């Protein structure tokens, strides 16, 4: 699963021009893979919880790497402020502080969502296939 997640993360990162938001969607199929393997092995609840945590740590780590790369690109580019203004149709000036705030708050929220989606997709897949 690890190599595949890296491969698809790089592809998704490039496809969406460095916006890591869409990389978070990759944790759902990763959770499906882990949950289906656990169901096929008839894993007990303790094994499922350990696998949920391992999966959440791994997927969140991969997304953190994508977020860091995106932040570097945004902070090093001289046109990030005008890109945001044009892309979102903003009528006010975007400052460097706003960009840094978006990186910090948005990145933290994205990583938290990734963690939750990862745990939920493993657990729900396992429970669904155990029936």
Which pair of tokens denotes residue 89? Answer: 């149709």
pLDDT value at position 84? 83
User: 13-23: buried (b, 16+ CB within 10 Å) or exposed (e) per residue?
Assistant: beeeeeebeeb
Nearest CA-CA partner of 5 in 32, 29, 38: 29
pLDDT digits (tens, 9 = 90+) for 5-32: 889 999 999 899 888 999 999 999 999 9
Q: Is 18 left (phi over 0), alpha (psi -120 to 50) or beta?
A: left
Q: What are phi and psi of 78, to 5 degrees?
A: -85, -10
Q: What is the pTM of this model?
A: 0.88
CA distance 25 to 29: 8
pLDDT value at position 23? 93
pLDDT digits (tens, 9 = 90+) for 97-123: 999 999 999 999 999 999 999 999 999
User: Would you list the domain boundaries of the chain?
Assistant: 2-130
């Amino acid at each position: 699963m690890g190599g595949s997640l890296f491969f698809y993360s790089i592809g998704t990162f490039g496809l969406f021009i460095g916006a890591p938001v869409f990389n978070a969607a990759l944790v759902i199929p990763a959770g499906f893979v882990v949950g289906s393997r656990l169901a096929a092995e008839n894993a007990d609840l303790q094994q499922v919880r350990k696998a949920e945590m391992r999966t959440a740590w791994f997927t969140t780590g991969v997304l953190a790497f994508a977020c860091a790369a995106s932040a570097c690109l945004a902070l090093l580019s001289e046109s990030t402020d005008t890109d945001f203004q044009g892309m979102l149709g903003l009528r006010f000036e975007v400052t460097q502080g706003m960009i840094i705030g978006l990186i910090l708050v948005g990145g933290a929220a994205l990583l938290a969502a990734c963690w939750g989606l990862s745990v939920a997709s493993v657990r729900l897949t396992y429970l669904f296939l155990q029936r």
